[in-house]
Chains A and B, each alone.
Chain A
């Protein structure tokens, strides 16, 4: 029971707790907040593993940007906890209700089966090489072995962005009801006098 191990356990517990609470919350803002908690805990785990860069990036990108974006959207749409949300939701079919968990369990099995976990999490920092997870190494991997997947992912994201723009534009394509052009304030008699 070293300090590192204790930290890991706490971080892991917080991460799992945050993830669980996130999907259990009706309030979308609370969900986002729990996700942040989870992410921060995960960042701690990364740091403990020596992947400091990954930890930092996790916070900068996910916690710092993407979840802020989520919050922005949620607040803009003013999605508050809605008790009618679940009531009015169409029930999933029995197939979905059973198939998804089954698939997940199967997948989990294969993952656990394939991946070799380290024998013990103690002394993690000591067992990796110095530059493990540092910027330099990550960059080399990213721009050599994983160059194409990386670029493809970039294209995929671009497509997604374009798609989102298209979808968003369709909703607001209708002509605006309020006149923003000063010249358009036509038929309304201007009987109000300033001052």
Chain B
């Protein structure tokens, strides 16, 4: 299967086409195309159950029968490769009879419980029975029935995962779920068991179907065998309408449909909207179930205003008047630069731009940033990290790359769609996958090489790569020139030792990078969250220059949030790209003279009481900033704090005024994903309660300050269009950068490196309000290797005390299947466990000690 021609259309040189006739029409298709795909390409509908465009064909259901001349029997079109001169009939009487027989055969054991079945109304079997089927059955025996439970409590539905309910009676054994789980997600928690009449799909023994993509299994099930709790028994499908939305939690912006009901103003589910450029029709569960926070019961309903130390409900007019009054007071007393603005990068373009203009024109301060969960941000717009973050990236190119490197990135947790792309490339094309991480991550199972370096030695491992390539002359000598002088590590072995990795492995990767035809190099959040990311970014710039990756592929730090790239493009950072800044100046008519402060610096200034007021929109710095105490102290010292959020959070509890923020599903907004692709999320429902979109809130505050932002929405759009048109991509530096590799400090008292990030089923602070996701992971945990757990004498679920010099938390242990070094990972998404309180913003690697909590 090395040359699976299905996706290999990039080689037109070979005359690999065949011509066949389908229903009297001649068609020419690439060699290897199946008859079914050829017919579908012509717009001929052939009914299927088991076929899926992104999976391999198995021909399990036989529904796609076609008649092919000179073949003795009906042929299964999804498993029949098109050959020259084939004459295919898809609509002959024989085919119709065949389909009818298949439907009857499937219905022999399929219960007719459509009224209770949630698939009713969108069920493939239902539709095809209507179209091709019969209205009576010739089978007069009892249907096969799978049940669970004792006689009196018999039930058909079994819960095989936190969210998935299986009804084996309805299953028609198309194996789509099992195949998708295996081929697309690389999971083996679902399988087919037994033989013959009692064949059943079920969870693997002793396991639950809880992989982060399990929702897709429900969506692709052609019948109602797999249903999920989210949608189960909520509403009938024909009563709903769909809003075309996008994922608000990931950087790729997977396309989704929000199924809503207009009268009730409710969203009932979220499904994938296949976009082959971005998501291939698979969405992660965090996307699928995360929308539930929109419908959460504890949304903020009205503005809150602090009176006598207590937050009380207030009207919008009252709250806005207070905001305007207090901002003016602070402004008058302390001066322009004393007001800071933080905005979350999951808000839409218009909100971001409005806030940008509000801060820079209405307030007149340069203090605006969206990167609020990163410590020690570079204070220079031209830093290597900024360059790396601004580089272009194309998701679909991952598919076609033959060398894929993920560096310092837990892809499953951070970029689920790109994670699936890597799996796709690996499974269908046998692409070479290399992961270079401070701890082993999920996709190490498909990696040709999984390099685990010493936590904190980010730049050392990249230096080792560069030096190995230079020493072994893998690239042109001209490129090597000038490199070694800039690096602090004198040799590849030196660097590999500093990084704690095997030089041979590094050499393999370097050779692959040097020889790869198409390379994708992705740097992730573990780099970005590192306090000393700048050195690693510089090392990556050197790497890019050395291997000339840009000419053979792409290299970028992937944008983490749904509109991170949009925020960059709209100049929502202290140091916008020069082209963007030029457009902004033109649009604003002025540029604030004050110092540009990053989010990180703003917090520092707040701690010094140099910034006295702040506006925080949609963000929760206390929970997410990697030094909880620091962030809280900073915000507590403020004279006046306005927070817009959808929920009451740790940050809103400090606020003087809390304004309810509308969620992504409640207004139409544009989002720019990591590729720079602008996508629109349509409003599904009206803003719930009294919440308002961020741009409206910002405009209202500006109006209350008597400095309106825009004359009209049209003005806003034209201004924004000009800015978005500006090129924000920063060029690589002209020469090699100096990389000072510092040794990683160790500590006897706190031996274990701690990594804090998102759980695979969560993202940020909002998904905590999505009940389905809480069913997957409801509380924080300490993920660690089995060896470490054994050394601590703890088992899965035992509580451990995780202590750092500044704090401690008690969390249950979760033994990881892939982490094999003594590190610990704790998700930050759960407000009940303030894991960020363990972190110190200046630490290169946060280290903790773990002790078992006695029962």
Q: A contacts B directly in the complex (CB < 8 Å)? A: no
Chain B residues within CB distance 8 Å of chain A: none
Chain A residues within CB distance 8 Å of chain B: none
